Structures are given as structure tokens and as C-alpha cells.
């Protein structure tokens, strides 16, 4: 798929109130995707295009959700193409820090009143093979500086007034899409922050389930002699077997050393529990929903023998799906391990697309840029991961002819490109190669960092190739 074609496919149906705005969106997406890490002045071809880009991001009539909706429709079509398979709707939050952008207006607080920026909660559709199908939802949260440092007051607020309501907003979006994909099993996946009772108790479409990592040692509805709390029940649960997973690298944090990526062998236990609803103190003037007990399955995966100096890996997962065998419990651990994909997406968005370096003057302008660059970040992540599932696809699914020709001639040091496109695996490795990937034995497949660097280099290589390539000879008559 060439640079222009992918943008047309994803965004040509965006309802922006004027077809000229939609045309500008498609053109802008195509241009910025070629060099996602560059500033707007560097990525745009000339002054007129740069002026048009700034006008687009500052236009109050362009709603970010309208831009996103066009892409979500394409994501839905890719979900439907999965047939009766499984799609993981992984949701997570990241911070965009604009504290150094003193002149930018409309920003919220982050960890303290001096830190200014926005919280972005994104839901990404992944296959169990970790191929990203696209975004399903995205919500921007601007935290009131007056609420910073007042977490202890959160129990005095209804769920709709808390930041944790974002998990329910995402689940609502998943429910809406599930109605359009009745043959697809959608699983809303969240980390410890998603362990919100209202999420587990929420009404869902028949083909929607929730899978979250437990954060609270919740009280259980139990008989005398049975486990009264969640972790006690996990320790008493039946063993399902062992599973080897890839533990991602973790940077150093306060009080904890950095953890390198490694393979970890987990012992898995599983069982059914009934959660007792938490006590909700009455809030004057607010009618609260009365919550009842919720029956869920627990799947406890824990590392018995971590390497010396490494923190043991442990996930206590809760799922609304009725599991019927130890094998199904093991699969749910593998599904949760796919959650790392959204953290890679955030890395691409912030480091590859350099979103925190964008200076657009207002939070509203930054939100429009966020939406567009999120779609570009998805495409970079898709190119990285789809090659691992379908390496023999032609490179034309990602690159236009002139791009793969320029890439081939650069890497092979020849002036004569082939008549047919190389495979997707070959093209992706070449892109990574011009981005600094060495491809040594044992290096494995290239990651997103070298890929986004390579895509920026490819834009320059293609521009030069278009200038220097021989003009095809005119057809001879007779």
C-alpha cells in the first residue's frame, strides 16, 4: 500500500464538515508518515504545506473524534476479517508532558501542579498473535490542578467523576463495536489500574469479556472454611500447568533497579470466585448504583524461581469469561502478555513521532496532532509486527513502487530495480537496515526504533531516486 493510498484508506471517510478539510487530512497524514520523527517545518515540503499543516491543527471546526472515527471504521473492518476469532481490546494510559511549553494554553496538571500536559487513554485492537489492527477509542483527560494531591478524597466521588471512569468509557466503545462484529470474541484487557469493580460488573455484549490484572485483595462471598480473600483463593486454586513468557525490560524506578528483558517460566493456577461488592460511602446528592456480587475466574501466574537479582513475575488475573479447562487458563495468561503491545505503541507515539516535542500553542491543537500521529504510530507498529505473522506478503502492502525500488537499489548498491516487489520481510529488514539495524546472527527481527528511523531515511532515499532514476523510453510504434 503506497503512502498516499494507506492515508486514503484510513481517513478519506472522515466527516469533517468540508471535503477540503478531509483532503487536507489525507495529504497531511501521507506527508507526516514519511518522516514521523521530524518537526513540522522539516517534514513539510514547502512553506505553503507547512502553513496548511498549522492551519489544520489550529482549526476549531476539526474534531479529533471525527478523525479517529474514520480510522476506527477501518479497524472494525479488519476485526470483521478475523471471522470468529479473538480480538484483544487493550487499554492503557500514558502522560504527555508539555511542562517546558510555557506558552501553551489549556493544558492540565500531571503528577504535580507544576507539571503540565495531558493524560491519554487509548484502546488498541490486537490479535492474539500481537498484530495491531488499529485504534478502537482514545480519550484525552485534562486534570484540574486543584485536585492534585487529593487522592484520599476519591472515595467521596461517584465513579463518573473519577479518572478511573476511563476504563468504563473504553469498555462502552468496545461494546458498541462488538454489536457490529457478532462473530468476534472481544476481550477488554487492562493492567492493575483497571481493577475497578464497576468494570467487572458492567453490562456487556454476549461476545465481550473483561481480563484485568488484580490490584486489590478483594473480599469474597464464601462459606465457612473457604478462602475469604482473593490471594488466599489463588493459593488454594488448582494448578493448570506451566507457561514460558517474555518478560519485557523495565526501566529503573524509585526504589527499584532496572530489569532486563528475559524469558520467565510461570506456574499457573485457576479457579472460580465470587467477589463481594466493595462498600461505597453515601455521597450527598448523588444517586449511586447498587452493586451486587460478581462471579469471575481467577488465573494466578507466578514465577517460582526468578534469576538472582530479578524481581519475580506475578500476575493475578480476573476474567469474566467462564473457563472450562486448564488449557484455557494458560491461554488467558498469553493474552494478558499481549498487553505489552500498547506500551510499545506509546513508545512509538512519544519517541518515534516525538509528540511531546510538538509546539502548537494550545491543548486543542495538540489533541488534533495526537489523533493523527496515533494513527501514524499504529501503522509503524503494524509494519513491525505483521511481518512476523505474514512475512511472505509483497512489500507493496506497505510501500509504493518507487519506495521499494529506491530501497532495493540502496541496499543492493545497484541502479537496476527488480520487476516484482520483494517480500514484506525483506523490505522491513532493509528499512531497519538503513535505520541502523545490523541484522547480525542472533539479533532477531528489527524493532520499532530502527524501523521509524529507517522510514525517515527512506523518504529521503525515495526523493533522490525520483530525481536520478532514468526516464522510461517512449514506446516505439510499428
pLDDT in tens, 334-380: 999 999 889 989 988 998 889 999 999 999 999 999 999 999 999 98
Residue 38 has pLDDT above 80, yes or no: yes
Please report which confidence band the pLDDT of residue 156 belongs to, taking 50, 70 and 90 as the band edges: low
- Cβ atoms 181, 75 nearer than 8 A: no
Q: Identify the bridge partners of residue 94 per DSSP, sorted by sequence position.
A: 120
- 372-411 pLDDT, tens digit per residue, is 999 999 998 888 887 777 788 888 777 778 888 888 888 8
pTM score, whole prediction: 0.84
Higher pLDDT, 47 or 329: 329
DSSP 87-110: EEEEEEEEEEE-TT-TT-BS-EE-
Query: Which pLDDT score is estimated for 374?
Result: 96
Say how far apart CA 139 and CA 142 lie, in whole Å.
10
Q: How far apart are CA 225 and CA 200, in angstroms?
A: 26
- DSSP 8-state class, residue 44: S
Q: Which of helix, strand or coil describes residue 40?
A: helix
Task: Convert the pLDDT of each residue in 298-332 to its tens digit.
Answer: 999 999 888 887 788 899 999 999 999 999 999 99
User: Is pLDDT above 50 for 95?
Assistant: yes
Per-residue pLDDT, averaged over 105-118, amounts to 88
Q: How far apart are the first and last CA of the chain?
A: 36
Lowest mean pLDDT among 129-133, 251-255, 280-284: 280-284
Q: How many residues does the chain have?
A: 478
Question: What percent of the chain clears pLDDT 70, i.e. is strictly above it?
Answer: 90
pLDDT at 140: 94
Phi, psi for residue 315 in degrees, rounded to 5: -130, 120
Residues in CB range of 116: below 8 A, 6 or more apart = 97, 98, 99, 101, 104, 107, 108, 109, 110
Eight-state DSSP code of residue 304: S
Average of pLDDT values for 416-420? 86
Please state, in angstroms and rounded to a whole number, the distance separating the CA atoms of residues 339 and 126.
9
At the topology level, CATH places domain 65-145+164-249+261-279+292-352 in Transposase Inhibitor Protein From Tn5; Chain A, domain 1 (3.90.350)
Torsion angle of C-alpha atoms 404, 352, 451, 257, degrees rounded to 10: 180
Say how far apart CA 411 and CA 434 lie, in whole Å. 8
What digits encode the pLDDT tens for the residues 227-261? 899 999 999 999 999 998 877 777 776 667 777 77
Cell, residue 398: 506497505
**What is the structure's pLDDT at 460?**
78
Residues of the chain with CATH 3.90.350.10: 65-145+164-249+261-279+292-352
List the single range of 128-137, 283-292, 387-396, 410-419 with lowest mean pLDDT: 283-292
List pLDDT tens digits, range 422-476.
888 888 888 888 888 777 766 677 777 777 778 778 877 887 887 877 555 454 5
Phi, psi for 291 (deg, rounded to 5): -95, 140
| Ranges in the chain annotated CATH 1.10.740.10 | 390-468
Cα separation, 442 vs 40, whole angstroms: 37
Percent of the chain beyond pLDDT 90?
Answer: 49
For the ranges 257-271, 283-297, 463-477, which has the lowest average pLDDT? 463-477
Query: What residues contact residue 429 under an 8 Å CB cut-off, 6+ apart?
Result: 437, 439, 445, 446
Can you point out the beta strands (E) in 102-232? 108-109, 116-126, 132-141, 185-190, 208-213
The DSSP result for 350-398, as a single string, is IIIS-GGG---SBHHHHHHHHHHHHHHHHHHHHHHHHHHH-TTSBGGGT
pLDDT for the residue numbered 160:
55
What's the pLDDT score for residue 472? 54
Which residues neighbour 474 within 8 Å (Cβ) at sequence distance 6 or greater? none
pLDDT of 286 reads 54
- Residue 218 has a CB neighbour count (10 Å cut-off) of 21
Q: Greater confidence, 472 or 106?
A: 106
Q: Are 337 and 245 in contact, with CB atoms under 8 Å apart? A: yes
**pLDDT at residue 401, rounded to an integer:** 83
Q: Is the model's pLDDT at 285 over the cut of 60?
A: no
Residue 155 clears pLDDT 60, i.e. is over it? no
State how far the Cα of 435 lies from the Cα of 446, in Å rounded to an integer: 10
What does the pLDDT read at residue 187? 97
Q: Are 32 and 372 in contact (CB under 8 A)?
A: yes
Within 8 A by CB and 6+ apart from 132, the residues are: 124, 125, 126, 341, 345, 378, 381, 382, 385
Average pLDDT over the chain, rounded to an integer: 86
Per-residue DSSP letter, 291 = P
Separation between Cα atoms, residue 63 and residue 367, nearest integer Å: 9
Cβ contacts of residue 284 below 8 Å, gap of 6+?
none
Q: For residues 105 and 363, is the Cβ–Cβ distance under 8 A?
A: yes
Assigned CATH for 390-468:
1.10.740.10
Q: How far apart are CA 121 and CA 123, in angstroms?
A: 7
Task: Kindly give, in sequence order, each residue whose CB lies less than 8 Å from that of residue 27, ignoring residues fewer than 6 positions away.
Answer: 7
Where residue 478 falls among pLDDT bands split at 50, 70, 90? Answer: very low
Mean pLDDT of 51-78: 94
Amino acid at each position: 500500500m503506497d503512502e498516499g493510498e494507506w492515508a486514503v484508506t484510513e481517513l478519506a471517510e472522515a466527516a469533517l464538515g468540508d471535503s477540503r478539510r478531509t483532503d487536507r487530512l489525507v495529504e497531511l497524514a501521507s506527508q507526516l508518515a514519511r518522516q514521523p520523527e521530524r518537526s513540522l517545518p522539516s517534514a513539510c515540503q514547502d512553506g505553503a504545506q507547512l502553513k496548511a499543516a498549522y492551519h489544520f491543527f489550529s482549526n476549531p471546526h476539526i474534531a479529533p473524534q471525527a478523525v479517529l472515527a474514520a480510522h476506527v471504521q477501518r479497524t472494525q473492518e479488519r476485526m470483521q476479517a478475523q471471522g470468529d476469532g479473538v480480538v484483544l481490546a487493550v487499554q492503557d494510559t500514558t502522560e504527555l508532558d508539555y511542562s517546558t511549553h510555557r506558552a501553551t494554553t489549556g493544558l492540565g496538571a500531571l503528577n504535580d501542579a507544576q507539571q503540565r500536559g495531558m493524560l491519554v487513554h487509548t484502546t488498541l485492537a490486537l490479535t492474539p498473535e500481537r498484530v495491531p489492527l488499529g485504534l478502537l477509542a482514545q480519550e484525552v483527560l485534562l486534570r484540574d490542578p486543584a485536585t492534585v494531591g487529593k487522592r484520599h478524597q476519591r472515595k467521596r466521588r461517584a465513579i463518573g467523576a473519577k479518572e478511573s471512569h476511563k476504563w468504563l468509557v473504553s469498555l462502552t466503545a468496545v461494546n458498541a463495536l462488538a454489536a457490529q462484529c457478532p462473530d468476534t470474541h472481544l476481550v477488554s484487557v487492562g493492567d492493575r489500574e483497571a481493577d475497578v469493580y464497576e468494570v467487572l460488573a458492567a453490562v456487556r455484549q454476549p461476545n465481550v469479556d473483561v481480563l484485568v490484572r488484580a490490584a486489590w485483595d478483594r473480599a469474597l462471598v464464601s462459606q465457612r472454611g473457604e478462602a475469604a480473600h482473593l490471594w488466599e483463593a489463588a493459593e488454594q486454586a488448582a494448578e493448570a500447568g506451566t507457561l514460558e513468557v517474555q518478560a519485557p525490560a523495565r526501566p529503573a524506578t524509585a526504589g527499584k533497579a532496572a530489569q532486563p528483558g528475559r524469558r520467565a517460566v510461570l506456574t499457573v493456577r485457576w479457579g472460580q470466585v465470587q467477589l463481594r461488592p466493595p462498600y461505597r460511602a453515601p455521597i450527598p446528592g448523588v444517586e449511586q448504583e447498587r452493586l451486587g456480587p460478581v462471579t469471575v475466574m481467577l488465573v494466578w501466574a507466578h514465577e517460582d524461581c526468578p534469576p538472582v537479582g530479578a524481581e519475580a513475575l506475578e500476575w493475578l488475573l480476573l476474567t469474566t469469561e467462564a473457563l472450562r479447562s486448564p488449557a484455557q487458563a494458560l491461554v488467558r495468561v498469553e493474552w494478558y502478555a499481549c498487553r505489552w503491545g500498547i506500551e510499545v505503541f506509546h513508545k512509538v507515539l512519544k519517541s518515534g513521532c516525538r509528540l511531546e516535542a510538538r509546539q502548537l500553542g494550545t491543548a486543542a491543537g495538540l489533541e488534533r496532532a495526537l489523533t493523527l500521529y496515533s494513527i501514524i504510530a499504529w501503522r509503524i507498529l503494524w509494519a513491525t509486527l505483521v511481518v512476523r505473522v505474514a512475512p511472505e506478503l509483497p512489500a507493496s502492502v506497505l510501500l509504493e513502487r518507487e519506495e521499494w525500488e529506491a530501497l532495493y537499489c540502496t541496499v543492493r548498491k545497484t541502479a537496476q530495480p527488480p520487476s516484482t516487489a520483494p517480500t514484506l520481510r525483506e523490505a522491513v529488514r532493509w528499512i531497519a537496515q538503513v535505520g541502523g539495524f545490523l541484522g547480525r546472527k542472533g539479533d532477531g527481527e528489527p524493532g520499532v526504533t530502527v524501523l521509524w528511523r529507517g522510514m525517515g531515511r527512506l523518504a529521503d532515499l525515495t526523493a533522490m531516486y525520483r530525481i536520478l532514476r532514468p526516464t522510461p523510453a517512449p514506446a516505439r510504434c510499428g
